[in-house]
Amino acid sequence: MAASIPPATVGRLVTYLRVVDEFAAVGVERVSSDELGERAGTSAFQVRKDLATCGRFGTRGSGYTVATLERELRRVLGLTRSWPVAIVGMGRIGQALADYPNFGRQDFVLSGAFDVDPAKVGMRAGSLLIRHLDDLPDVVREHGIEMAFLTVPADAAQDAAKALVGAGVRGLLNFAPAVIHVPAGVFVESVDFVGGLQRLAFALGGRPASTVGIDG
Amino acid sequence: MAASIPPATVGRLVTYLRVVDEFAAVGVERVSSDELGERAGTSAFQVRKDLATCGRFGTRGSGYTVATLERELRRVLGLTRSWPVAIVGMGRIGQALADYPNFGRQDFVLSGAFDVDPAKVGMRAGSLLIRHLDDLPDVVREHGIEMAFLTVPADAAQDAAKALVGAGVRGLLNFAPAVIHVPAGVFVESVDFVGGLQRLAFALGGRPASTVGIDG
C-alpha cells in the first residue's frame, strides 16, 4: 500500500502516466519536466516534486527516460498486474462500459456483469453474460474480482455497495449520484457527471459568499 | 464568479447539496453539522468551515434549516438558472447520456447532440436530433449553450474541444481519457473512469516510493 502519497498527487501521477504513454506512442525517448508539466497542465516544479514522491527519477538537466518513467509510474500506481473488474447495474451506462473498447490496455479486465432485472439476467453485454446480483459472491471468488463499477440508480447504490463489500470487493467506482458509505479498507472513487456539471455551473456562474447572514 | 472558493470546497458543497436534497426528500426540516458531515463523508468541523465560506449559515446549537441551506447552496453554486448542455460525440457514452433520465432536476437541459459520422448525423438520440459538428456554432448560439459533454475518442478530444471553445462554449465535461488544453476563462472537469480505476489500483495495490534511485 502506498497510503503515504496524497490523493491529489496520485491523481497527477495518473495524468503523468497518460502523458508518458502519449509520448511513448509517438516514439519520444526522453522528456523534460517542462514538457511533462505542459502536457499535464501543471508546472515543471510540480512535476519534479510529484515524481520525487515516487523515488529518485531523472537527472538534472537531461530529463527523464520515457520507458523508465512509464515503468516506475506503473509500479507505484499498482499497474504491474491485471485487475478483474465487475459491472453492477446493466442500464445504459453499464452497457456502455461493457462495450468500452480498451480499459487502459490490459490493466483492467471486465470479468462479471450483474443486475437484478429478470429481463436482463441471462442476456449478453459485450463479451459478458449478465448474471443475477445473488451470484456476485461466487463470481467474485472465481475471478478474484477486487474492483467494480457501480452503475445502479442512486436509490439502489448503497445496497449494491453493501453487496459488493460483502462479497469481498474493496474498490468501487461509483457512477450513481449518491454518497455511499463503506467500511475502512474499502475505497470509493466517484465518476459523478452531474456533480461535474454542478462544478462547471459554479465556475461559470456561481456567486461568492453572501454578505448578509441567513438563518439566525 | 466565485473563484474565491477553492475547488475542493466546491466539490464538497456539491456533495452537501446532494445530501440536503436527500434530507428534503424525506421531509427533514433541520439538520446538524454532525448529520451533514456523517452523510457527506466528512467531519462536522469541515461542514461548518465550508458553509462559512458561503456566508453565515446556521445557528450554533440548532443546526441548519434544510430549505434555507438548499436555497443558499444552489445560489452559491450557480444553480438558480437552467443550463443548456450539448453532447459532442454520439458513441455509446454519448448515447447513454442522451437517454439519462434526470440531469439534476431542471438544472441542466440537453440542447444539442453532435457527431461527424455520416451514419449518425440525422439520427435521433433520446429527444435530440444528432447534427454534424459543423452546425455547432449555430446551435450554440440558438440555444445559448455554455456547457458540453465531450464524449469523443481520446485522439479526437483536443480538436473537438477547440471547436466547442470556438463556438463560445466555456465549460467542458471531458469523458475522453486525454488531457485537453483550453484558453483562460474556459473550464474543464474530467469524468475519467479509467483514471478512477487507476486510482483504485493505487489504493489497493500501489507500492510506496522505491528506495533506490533510478535513471542516473
Kindly report, residue by residue over A169-195, the tens digit of the pLDDT. Answer: 999 999 987 889 999 999 998 887 888
Same domain for A47 and A93, yes or no, is no
Same domain for A89 and A54, yes or no, is no
A52 within a domain of the structure (yes/no): yes
A111 within a domain of the structure (yes/no): yes
Same domain for B100 and B71, yes or no, is no
Domain CATH code at residue A142: 3.40.50.720
More confident residue, A8 or A181: A181
* pLDDT over 50 (residue A1): no
| pLDDT, position B164 | 97
Instruction: Kindly calculate the radius of gyration of chain B based on its CA atoms and give it in whole angstroms.
Output: 21
ipTM of this predicted complex? Answer: 0.84
Same domain for B59 and B137, yes or no, is no
Say if the Cβ atoms of A83 and B201 lie within 8 Å: yes
Is the Cβ–Cβ distance between A195 and B14 less than 8 Å?
yes
Same domain for B175 and B134, yes or no, is yes
Q: Which residues of B are less than 8 Å from A13 in CB distance?
A: 202
Lowest mean pLDDT among B18-22, B95-99, B101-105: B101-105
Residue of A nearest to B183 (CA): A41
Residues 6+ apart with CB under 8 A from B169: B86, B140, B145, B146, B147, B148, B186
B148 within a domain of the structure (yes/no): yes
CB atoms near residue A21 (< 10 Å):
16
B206 within a domain of the structure (yes/no): no
User: In the listed set B42, B75, B108, which residue is the last one of a domain according to the structure?
Assistant: B75
Q: Considering its fold, how many domains does chain A have in total?
A: 2
Taken as a whole, chain A contains a residue count of 216
Work out the minimum CA distance from A91 to partner chain B, whole angstroms: 9
Say if the Cβ atoms of A205 and B100 lie within 8 Å: no
Report the pLDDT averaged over residues B149-156. Answer: 92
Q: Which of A78, A92, A179 lies closest to B18 in CB terms? A: A179
Same domain for A45 and A121, yes or no, is no
Say if the Cβ atoms of A189 and B200 lie within 8 Å: yes
Residue A35's Cβ-count burial label (10 Å; 0-12, 13-18, 19+) is middle
* pLDDT over 90 (residue B100): no
B205's grid cell: 495495490
* pLDDT over 90 (residue B194): no
Residue of A nearest to B191 (CA): A191
* pLDDT over 70 (residue B16): yes
Report the pLDDT averaged over residues A1-8. Answer: 68
Same domain for B58 and B93, yes or no, is no
Q: Which residues of A are less than 8 Å from B157 in CB distance?
A: none
What are the DSSP calls for chain B, one per residue? Answer: --TTS-HHHHHHHHHHHHHHHHHHHTT--EE-HHHHHHHHTS-HHHHHHHHHHTS---BTTTBEEHHHHHHHHHHHHT-SS-EEEEEE--SHHHHHHHT-S-STTTTEEEEEEEES-TTTTT-EETTEEEEEGGGHHHHHHHHT--EEEE-S-GGGHHHHHHHHHHTT--EEEE-SSS-----TT-EEEE--HHHHHHHHHHHHH-----SS----
Q: Which residues of B are less than 8 Å from A200 in CB distance?
A: 147, 171-173, 187, 189
Same domain for B59 and B90, yes or no, is no
B107 within a domain of the structure (yes/no): yes
State the pLDDT confidence band at B57, using cuts at 50, 70 and 90: low
Rounded Cα distance between B12 and B201, Å, is: 24
Q: Which of A56, A170, A197 lies closest to B214 in CB terms? A: A56
Range of the domain at B40: 7-75
Q: Which of B39, B203, B211 lies closest to A187 in CB terms? A: B203
The amino acid at B115 = D
Rounded Cα distance between A98 and A130, Å, is: 10
A212 within a domain of the structure (yes/no): no
State the pLDDT confidence band at B124, using cuts at 50, 70 and 90: very high
Same domain for A64 and A99, yes or no, is no
A204 within a domain of the structure (yes/no): no
A138 within a domain of the structure (yes/no): yes
Tens digit of pLDDT for each residue in A27-75?
A: 999 999 999 998 888 899 999 999 988 776 666 667 899 999 999 999 8
- End-to-end Cα spacing for chain B: 47
Same domain for B55 and B157, yes or no, is no
A6 in B contact zone (CB under 8 Å)? no
Same domain for B49 and B151, yes or no, is no
* pLDDT over 80 (residue B54): no
Work out the minimum CA distance from B216 to partner chain A, whole angstroms: 6
Same domain for A193 and A88, yes or no, is yes
Alpha-carbon distances of A125 from A90, A115, A136, B143, rounded to whole Å: 8, 11, 16, 36
Domain CATH code at residue B69: 1.10.10.10
Mark which residues 117-176 of A lie under 8 Å from B by CB.
146-147, 149, 170-173, 175
